[in-house]
Structure 1
């Protein structure tokens, strides 16, 4: 179980260079904060494999070939699995979790469990910290895992609240983000450990089910401390920490250029197929 997330397969030097981390390699809170910020601002979010009707591979060699050695990104299960491998190599104690995306869901709706999170316990801190490196829109750093936590990070604000326990006594939580219209609940999750096989099963649904929002559509994101950009087919959305938003429809000839600005450079034949998809 010591290598559950296959951290031994990770080229740690290459990963840390990719996210711009050159600090102390100790399982501390300071290192965790730096790793989280480096990962979320360096590795883009994208769903090109599902859009191209190809499987998403979660083994560490495949993840590092795609996210570390290539100019590509991934979605939450890829990001969280890669981050878990790095944490494992660095000696952190952590638990994986799976949540339900609630953005745009009507009140009372039950969404499928399709979002990956990590609950981390640094060696030098008595608290637990929620890491969400794969949402595509922050947070920049971990959130203290406590009811009512509000964290303002370079103008972006996030809140963690405990929900009612279910009939089995399982704790439930919600992560919300502050926007122009107030707090929006991004996802909810149960405090139940998840394992690599759970990531694999949920990821397969996200990548292949005909009702998945990632099938038949291109969706990419790039998040930094200053700006959050989203590409939904040919719609480019730019968000700023103060809640300001700008939306623009791209010309087809701009599609590849904007992907590259996000840090995503697919193979030429893939770019051609994606362009046919977004212009269909």
Structure 2
């Protein structure tokens, strides 16, 4: 981990204090600078989640990535800053029935800070998830106007997870999978079981290769904005900022690559965009 290059990539001039405000500052800067994307899958490049490969792609090359990449980078940065942390695995519940048990295809970070446990997540593409203390009922509001909370959801080993993250806020400040109302909606459930690197590798392999899933059939990108959220699914771009929503369709590969660079902070060339299934 080269913290100097990482800070330059996320727009910080110095390391924030490693307290609750500093963690929020670091994660917010990361989410606003490094877009969420799955484009290595439709491009046929494959996704590697070791520290060296992730740093090269997200920091050096200026690309984005999905949870297994984003939270690998965040975890490495937190470790370099002196915070003990480890990965967790979660089941994403967006748009699913209450008792569904999808695979554990999301990863987040459990952080030990100031003698307490926190969750940090720089890799959830559906919306902006702020750092939260691992406490039943813990809540936080994000600049897009949404509220987020953690609830104890079950016993250890339960398919429903020990913990559930919920969100209440404008559906326009998401990637479109949230229901159009402001009531609490589950985002994902997780437990505190130890996660090995091979567990992450298995989740990444399933997510990037399983036929007929969101990540293997669509081109996805999103990013946190200063007071909102931007998401692009295939050619449909939605931007929510300061309570105002706008949508448009991307016209061609050059427009797609330009939108990624200017809105999402993702460095994709026109030639690479032209290789996407959207334009072939």
Could you state the TM-score of these two structures normalised by the residue count of structure 1? 0.86
Map residues 58-97 of structure 1 onto 2, 5 A cutoff.
58-97=49-88
C-alpha deviation, 1:225, in angstroms: 2.9
C-alpha deviation, 1:166, in angstroms: 4.9
Residue 111 of structure 2 is matched in structure 1 by: 120
Q: Does residue 224 of structure 2 align to residue 223 of structure 1? A: yes
> Structure 2 vs 1, CA of residues 128 and 53 (structure 1 numbering), >3 Å: closer, same or farther?
same
> Structure 2 vs 1, CA of residues 21 and 100 (structure 1 numbering), >3 Å: closer, same or farther?
same
> Pick from 10, 15, 20: which aligns with 2:11?
20
Residue 46 of structure 1 is matched in structure 2 by: 37
Q: Does residue 139 of structure 2 align to residue 138 of structure 1? A: no
**Residues 23 and 31, structure 1, Cα contact 8 Å, conserved in 2:** no
> Structure 2 vs 1, CA of residues 161 and 240 (structure 1 numbering), >3 Å: closer, same or farther?
farther
Q: CA RMSD in A?
A: 2.2
Cα distance in 1, alignment partners of residues 167 and 109 from structure 2: 18
Cα distance in 1, alignment partners of residues 242 and 10 from structure 2: 22
What does the per-residue CA deviation read over 1:76-114, in whole Å, with 9 as the maximum and x for residues that have no partner?
A: 000011111111112211221010111111232111101
> Structure 2 vs 1, CA of residues 115 and 241 (structure 1 numbering), >3 Å: closer, same or farther?
farther
**Residues 170 and 192, structure 1, Cα contact 8 Å, conserved in 2:** no
C-alpha deviation, 1:116, in angstroms: 0.8
> Structure 2 vs 1, CA of residues 240 and 103 (structure 1 numbering), >3 Å: closer, same or farther?
farther
Residue 201 of structure 1 is matched in structure 2 by: 202
Could you state the TM-score of these two structures normalised by the residue count of structure 2? 0.86
SS at match of 1:22: coil
What does the per-residue CA deviation read over 1:178-234, in whole Å, with 9 as the maximum and x for residues that have no partner?
A: 124122211111121212222111011111111331113210001123120110001
Cα distance in 2, alignment partners of residues 101 and 133 from structure 1: 15
Name stretches of at least 5 consecutive residues in structure 1 with no aligned partner.
Answer: 1-9
> Structure 2 vs 1, CA of residues 45 and 168 (structure 1 numbering), >3 Å: closer, same or farther?
closer
Q: Does residue 267 of structure 2 align to residue 265 of structure 1? A: yes
**Residues 91 and 104, structure 2, Cα contact 8 Å, conserved in 1:** yes
> Structure 2 vs 1, CA of residues 200 and 74 (structure 1 numbering), >3 Å: closer, same or farther?
same
Cα distance in 2, alignment partners of residues 128 and 263 from structure 1: 31
Residue 137 of structure 2 is matched in structure 1 by: 148
Count, aligned residues = 265
Cα distance in 2, alignment partners of residues 272 and 169 from structure 1: 41
Name stretches of at least 5 consecutive residues in structure 2 with no aligned partner.
Answer: 171-180
Cα distance in 2, alignment partners of residues 207 and 225 from structure 1: 30
